Structure 1
């Protein structure tokens, strides 16, 4: 089927390319301009992950059921004399103008709230006043039915507050004056995400092109994988726009999906183009130069068909493995993780389509020009270099020599490589999983100054880290707050106040110690009905939700991967070793993540404040483990496909490992180098979560393509060579019916290697285990 598809696409290349061009244009136009007037970037949100739990119940109780959804903007002023008449006049004029705007439900001016009879500040105004008496917040509530805030209303309120800010600066030039709120914060984070996306692509794409120029020696062959990558990104943006009407799409989702689509598409395109050049050269060399032009065209179509049937099948299995690993994320409760899962599955499917349909169409269009030496090979001094690092591996090379050295002491090398991975992963033993708070607001955000000033000068106006909510009498609530105040890492508690019929106390905690305090409070609850809320409590609920679902996700991912690898190899030993080695390798990348971010060793290089990081973000950890595993299996498929191909051709297991790694080593190394560049480019952005994801996945791919794929895997497979292809008898019919194998075709096409050895029994039948004689199969 795949071979037929490849030939069909190459033969009808113009129609295929026209359909792709229209599809890509439609996806780009939809993402940038939208269908209802809103672009994809305008539909993004930044609400953060939430789950059902104690904290969400507390928030719902305190929010009330008045049926009116509102959001707010604030004018923050600090460092002024609150008794100054000019300040009061500015605030009064602003309040008057703001209340006349249609959609403004209320304006809270703390200077207009009369004090208590004894002269003390009114409790309603306390959160809006700075404790040092030199600052205030003018808070404006705007109607947002079902959370949908009018852009026109937001603009009017923001403009009027900006005018008031200018007036305040004129009477007190040294004052801190900021306008901010949740709507502006979301807008700023979306802008940062969009800027990071452009920056990452501007860094990654040119360097990726340079690497592929070295591999292919010409712009034509090097450009095809990039065209496929750009098509995948466009398709991903269009898919995300559609999904934005079905679920909330966070800014993180956009960047994660884009970087995954970019990396996988380049990998798959690289594999397809490289295999085509190999197959076409072999067919042309066999036919000779005297072949007619029409016959050479048929040879080209045949090469495309064989390429899609071999490398395309590897891409299909590899992509399905990655997609299944991503599907495991759907068992988690947070909407953001499910959105990433759906987006990732979409972009992987699009990457597979570009590799199996778009790239073959381009191969059919450019045909013979792809195998001719590029212009760069004619540059003096550059030609030999490009020839040396070409995409088609020679009979003998670095990888074959390295593998033979590894095979001299496979057990010792296996133990040494695994020990090194465990050493790199040792910092993970001290991992602390904690959701990001203020550290998630990058300095590049236009709201960074507002958020920083709000947290510093107006602690009571910020969302509480920890709060006590109870349905009891005031005395019992006060006693509970007093008991909590004596706990370690608690700096104090406020007297309970009544909100919507419930008693509420804020709990002050030491920096980064909120989750531990929440767990300690919940371990010793009072007898009356109570809830522990706040942002740190929500973080605890979020982490606990992930922990509960993680075993199911791991079971789905491991089981599906095992099945696909079995169908590919016919062995149960190969999938088990692949799973174990990948887990150890992922542990090493998590160790680097802990060392770099939680322990702050990469703070200077990547420009973040290590003191604000409580631990590894659970979202980051989940995505790194899932996508890291998918990428590891990606390269495992690349390698195993060639090893199995050589083994099925009659080579011994030991020799197949040597020739398989020599055949695939260059492509795996080149693909890994490109994807490391992609992840590193996005790690230079401003969003801390993307920094962590980029660094961890870059390390995971780097380790996997160097230490794991070229040393540990060949050593382990050689050590297990006698039983490497073993499977229970009852599984043989399953593999025979559904397994991945090379179909019967004209001989073409593998990397030049040793002459195929025959079995002692003279059969030489592909796939015959060396440990026993093959029985002839009747009717074949």
Structure 2
């Protein structure tokens, strides 16, 4: 079937390419052009991951969650004299103008709210006044429709607040004056994410082109995988745009999915183009080495070569993509909606990457395939051509990887043990791993809202969501006694007196920086007898991380079982899948170790330009995605290698020789593909979003280790050590594999 598909795509290339152009134009128009009235970037959210846990229940009990039908903007002032007549005049005029804007539901000027009889601020105004008496928040609430705020309404309110801010700056040049709020935070983060995406592509794509020029020696062959990658990016953005109508798509989701699609498409396109050149060259030189073919005969040879390529390398791509997709589906067992959105988006982009390799690239080969046997422009340059031939995509029968394999096979156990020691050393920082939830705190310095959010947190502690809240259903003395008990815990810096809220008593707890989660766990470990709940953002983070921990074993089971079945159907062995799973675990452990060393311990703060004091640990979402996507990418290269080893073994070569020739024939492509994808991930690690930095570094390290130490050294050593049992499986499983297994 795959051979037929490949020949059909190349033969009917014009129709195929027209369909791709129409599809990609539709994706670009909807996701980027906003022909529906909104672009993908307009529909992204910045909401952090949430789960239905104790913290969310506590918020529901006291009704402290933000009204779902409104959004608000605030004019933040600090370092001003609240009694200044000029300030009151500016705010009074702004209140009048803002209240007249259709869609504004409330304007709260804390200076205009009368105090209580004892002189204390009214409850509605108290959170909007800074404790030092020199700051206030002037807040405007706006109605939303189905949770969406009108752009025109937001623009009108923001513009009027900007005018008031300018007036106040002229009156008090030394004061801090900022306009901000959740809608502007979302806009600023989307702008940062969009900039990261563009910068990552500008860094990674030219370097990827350079690497492929070295591999292929010419622009035409090098361009084909990049065309597939570009198609994959547009297709991914289009699919994500469609999913925004079904799910909340977070900013992080967009960047993660785009990077994965870019990397996989380049990998798959590289494999297809390389195998085609190998097959076509073999047909032209071996089938008819003396007689020059006619144009028709040569064209038919090209079509046969495309068919064979799709039937061999295309089968590997299909297998690899299926493995990656099944590994990604393991994310669906987790509760947070953001992880489910990433899983669905990743599966869709893997499908697009497979289609670019099996449909788009073969169609391009139908147009340009016959020209790929001609020496590339770079190979004609004296001296450079000889150098490029040493790095070409079609490996000779004897070369670096065959010599390396024979060297390894002299002492396979010793080499395997040495490789394992290196992986364990790299993974040793995992022993000090701290899992955190940095989504709410990781506002990059380049965000236009960074100054507003910093000033809000520093000067208006009661206007932001509480970090830790004690909610109880008891009398006031008992609630006060509980707050006092909590106040004596290590790392707690203060507690407030209980306040009545919706029939419950509520106290706020402050903790030392990065100690909120441990304080929450201590409080929950020693509860009073009366009904009580621990809420707040730190408690919500604890619930979120605990939810991931509970889902992790199920996700691991789904991924391991799916991978085992697919590798067995491919190889007919139960030994190979088991060793592949164990080696991948060690490789991923090493990449997580580098992540801990680089971010949690701050050793990469300088090169990657982040504040190590702002990083409390490895982000929980990053950890999950790195483990799942890193495993999927590791299986990518496992498939590339095993497919060639199995192919040589099926031809009758002994196991040792099959390992040697399999690695020699696939080593260049694995190394080249890995180098490109490492550069792609490294390019995106230079962005501003902390989660993308961590994901980029961890996946780059995972792929680098996998394609060098693991695939080129450890796997040949382990397979050689197990050569006597390598292809073993129970007889009944062998019969199953022969009936339903996938063979080249």
Taking structure 2 as the reference length, what is the TM-score of the superposition? 0.98
Aligned-partner Cα distance in 1 for 2:721–2:68? 68
Residue range with higher mean Cα deviation, 31-40 or 479-488: 31-40
What does residue 447 of structure 2 align with? 445
What does residue 518 of structure 2 align with? 516
Q: After superposition, what is the alpha-carbon deviation per residue over 1:734-773, rounded to whole angstroms, capped at 9, x for unaligned?
A: 110111212xxxxxxxxxxxxxxxxxxxxxxxxxxxxxxx
Shift of 1:114: 2.4
What does residue 240 of structure 1 align with? 240
Aligned-partner Cα distance in 1 for 2:36–2:527? 50
Q: Is the 8 A contact 2:48 2:440 kept in 1?
A: no
Residue range with higher mean Cα deviation, 457-466 or 685-694: 457-466
Shift of 1:396: 1.0
Aligned-partner Cα distance in 2 for 1:12–1:684? 42
Q: After superposition, what is the alpha-carbon deviation per residue over 1:195-223, rounded to whole angstroms, capped at 9, x for unaligned?
A: 11100000010000000000000000000
Q: After superposition, what is the alpha-carbon deviation per residue over 1:317-337, rounded to whole angstroms, capped at 9, x for unaligned?
A: 000000000000011110100
Aligned-partner Cα distance in 2 for 1:223–1:440? 37
- After superposition, residues 223-622 of structure 1 pair within 5 angstroms as 223-286=223-286, 287-288=288-289, 289-436=291-438, 439-622=441-624
Aligned-partner Cα distance in 1 for 2:692–2:410? 42
What does residue 703 of structure 1 align with? 705
SS of the equivalent of 1:238 reads: helix
Aligned-partner Cα distance in 1 for 2:743–2:387? 36
Residue range with higher mean Cα deviation, 572-581 or 602-611: 602-611
Q: CA RMSD in A?
A: 1.3
Residue range with higher mean Cα deviation, 37-46 or 604-613: 604-613
Aligned-partner Cα distance in 1 for 2:738–2:153? 65
Q: Is the 8 A contact 2:232 2:265 kept in 1?
A: yes
Q: Is the 8 A contact 1:466 1:518 kept in 2?
A: yes
Aligned-partner Cα distance in 1 for 2:30–2:8? 30
Q: Is the 8 A contact 2:30 2:36 kept in 1?
A: no
From the superposition, tell whether residues 546 and 231 of structure 1 become closer, same or farther in structure 2 (CA, over 3 Å).
same
Q: After superposition, what is the alpha-carbon deviation per residue over 1:223-243, rounded to whole angstroms, capped at 9, x for unaligned?
A: 000000111111111111110
Shift of 1:113: 2.1
- Unmatched tracts of structure 2, length 5 or more: none
Q: After superposition, what is the alpha-carbon deviation per residue over 1:339-390, rounded to whole angstroms, capped at 9, x for unaligned?
A: 0000000000110011001000111111210111011111222211111211
Aligned-partner Cα distance in 2 for 1:626–1:65? 33
Aligned-partner Cα distance in 1 for 2:149–2:5? 49
Q: After superposition, what is the alpha-carbon deviation per residue over 1:667-720, rounded to whole angstroms, capped at 9, x for unaligned?
A: 000000000000000000000000000000000000000100110000000000
Q: Is the 8 A contact 2:68 2:147 kept in 1?
A: no
1:680 corresponds, among 667, 679, 682, to 682
Q: Is the 8 A contact 2:472 2:506 kept in 1?
A: yes
SS of the equivalent of 1:77 reads: strand
What does residue 157 of structure 1 align with? 157
1:648 corresponds, among 628, 650, 653, to 650
Q: Is the 8 A contact 2:574 2:727 kept in 1?
A: yes
From the superposition, tell whether residues 480 and 602 of structure 1 become closer, same or farther in structure 2 (CA, over 3 Å).
same
Q: Is the 8 A contact 1:439 1:688 kept in 2?
A: no
What does residue 756 of structure 1 align with? none
- After superposition, residues 10-49 of structure 1 pair within 5 angstroms as 10-49=10-49
What does residue 755 of structure 1 align with? none
Q: Is the 8 A contact 2:48 2:439 kept in 1?
A: no
What does residue 101 of structure 1 align with? 101
What does residue 762 of structure 1 align with? none
Shift of 1:120: 3.4
What does residue 71 of structure 1 align with? 71
Aligned-partner Cα distance in 2 for 1:405–1:73? 67
- After superposition, residues 48-197 of structure 1 pair within 5 angstroms as 48-63=48-63, 69-197=69-197
Shift of 1:125: 2.3
Aligned-partner Cα distance in 1 for 2:319–2:240? 24
Q: Is the 8 A contact 1:68 1:143 kept in 2?
A: no
From the superposition, tell whether residues 317 and 8 of structure 1 become closer, same or farther in structure 2 (CA, over 3 Å).
same
SS of the equivalent of 1:179 reads: strand
Aligned-partner Cα distance in 2 for 1:437–1:684? 18
Shift of 1:500: 2.4
SS of the equivalent of 2:32 reads: helix
Shift of 1:68: 6.5
What does residue 760 of structure 1 align with? none
From the superposition, tell whether residues 437 and 221 of structure 1 become closer, same or farther in structure 2 (CA, over 3 Å).
closer
Aligned-partner Cα distance in 1 for 2:501–2:76? 25
Taking structure 1 as the reference length, what is the TM-score of the superposition? 0.94
- Unmatched tracts of structure 1, length 5 or more: 743-780
Shift of 1:67: 7.8
Q: Is the 8 A contact 1:319 1:352 kept in 2?
A: yes
Aligned-partner Cα distance in 2 for 1:314–1:321? 10
From the superposition, tell whether residues 490 and 67 of structure 1 become closer, same or farther in structure 2 (CA, over 3 Å).
closer
Aligned-partner Cα distance in 2 for 1:723–1:68? 62
Q: After superposition, what is the alpha-carbon deviation per residue over 1:30-68, rounded to whole angstroms, capped at 9, x for unaligned?
A: 111345311111000000100000111122223379987
Aligned-partner Cα distance in 1 for 2:467–2:606? 28
Aligned-partner Cα distance in 1 for 2:495–2:71? 27
From the superposition, tell whether residues 68 and 253 of structure 1 become closer, same or farther in structure 2 (CA, over 3 Å).
closer
Shift of 1:24: 1.0
Length, aligned pairs only: 742
SS of the equivalent of 2:146 reads: helix
